[in-house]
Amino acid sequence: MRRSVTRRSRREFIHQVGVAAITAPVAASLITSAHAQEDKRLGFALVGLGSLSTNQIAPALQKTKHCRLAGIVTGTPAKEQAWADKYNIPRKNIYNYENFDRVADNPDIDVVYVVLPNAMHGEYTIRAARAGKHVLCEKPMEVSVKKCEQMIEACKKANRKLAIGYRCQFVPHHVEAIRLAREKVFGDVKLIEASFGFRIGDPNQWRLKRALAGGGALMDVGIYALQGARYISGEEPVEVFASETKTDTVKFEEVDESILWSMRFPSGVMANCGTSYLVGGMNRLFAAAEKGWFQLDPAYSYSGIQGKTNRGLMEFPQVDHFATEMDDFALCIKNNKPTKVPGEEGLRDVKIMTAIYESIRKGRPVKLG
């Protein structure tokens, strides 16, 4: 009996060695392939080469671990050569707004980053999705709820991921503020104050044209305060009440200049928020809780975020906001995981901003949901 067991064991051993010899190269190949996929930098194409792309996003792409600047889309021929020379972009990866759809045939480009005026976000997000590309779209997502819904539907139909450029959600100071609220480190948050504004310059820029911007200070920078109040409360507002002040009726003929609004949340938390194109110095996110407080000030700038609580300073490293958000999106794509800033997140903000504008027009609170 013992001999038969020994023989069977030897036969099994020889068989296992043979199988291992055959499968080892295959396994090694699979592992190598997996590592190659993990290490592959995803190619980003920037649609729109304005100030944000030029001064923030393109430089940030040089700092990323999982992304690279692979292509550009511009309506200004003079920019094509300058960008190609600076970032070594091949001619085949340079598009204009007319031939943009040809990006579908370009395997160098994995992600399209839409950095256009607000009212153009929908068109180019949908075209990118139809071309088989994942999309990162700057905030605000669009200028209407309907367009946001169309963007979400197009990306779902194409089985492509859609993320909205809420960079602050990836900044350590904001992540910590969210943790303090969720873990009730100072007890339940009861009151939130959030504001962001600056003095806008050139009166001829697209941000002051309703057809392109959809709105003024609220759509551009007030959305940061709106976002902050939402992710600190951890809830969706059930009511908004807003008022607008316009001191320069020529410059701000088409869009809002300054808006103050309040939001009431289901738990009873209240948020008082403000935004302006007339004055600076509004750059704060503050939360008062049962046993203390915490704040970010400045809260939304591209750099230099500072945090503080009633116990002391928030000590966190400064990061490149755009590099951090793009790397996060790249990893979501590589690992097929959901992004924490999907199209649905952008849609929620547009619904709330729509209600804020409605409240201004009607002069009364507007219920949500």
Torsion 175-177-178-179 (CA) sign: positive
Question: Is-contact 362 220, C-beta < 8 A?
Answer: no
Q: Which of 151, 177, 175, 130 is nearest to 345 (CA)?
A: 151
Rg over alpha carbons for the chain, rounded to the nearest Å, is 25
Q: Is 156 a catalytic residue?
A: no
Answer yes or no: 300 catalytic: no
Q: How far apart are the first and last CA of the chain?
A: 76
Q: How far apart are the C-alpha atoms of 264 and 359, rounded to whole Å?
A: 14
Q: Which of 350, 365, 145, 352 is nearest to 243 (CA)?
A: 365
- Of 367, 322, 285, nearest in space to 58 by CA: 322
Name the active-site residue from 124, 224, 231, 300: 224
Greatest alpha-carbon span in the chain: 102
Q: Are 351 and 145 in contact (CB under 8 A)?
A: yes
Other Cβ atoms less than 10 A from the Cβ of 216: the count is 27
3-state secondary structure 14-36: HHHHHHHHHHHHHHHHHHHHHHH
**CB half-sphere exposure, 94, CA atoms < 13 A:** 18
Rounded CA-CA distance 269/181 in Å is 12
Catalytic residue among 133, 139, 161, 251: 139
Q: What does the alpha-carbon distance between residue 289 and residue 368 come to, in Å, rounded to a whole number?
A: 25
Buried b (16+ CB within 10 A) or exposed e, 129-165: bebbbbbbbbbbbbbeeebbbbbbebbeebebbbbbb
- What does the CA dihedral 149, 150, 153, 154 come to, rounded to 10 degrees? -150
Query: Do 301 and 224 form a contact (C-beta atoms < 8 A)?
Result: no
Give me the active site residues, please: 139, 224
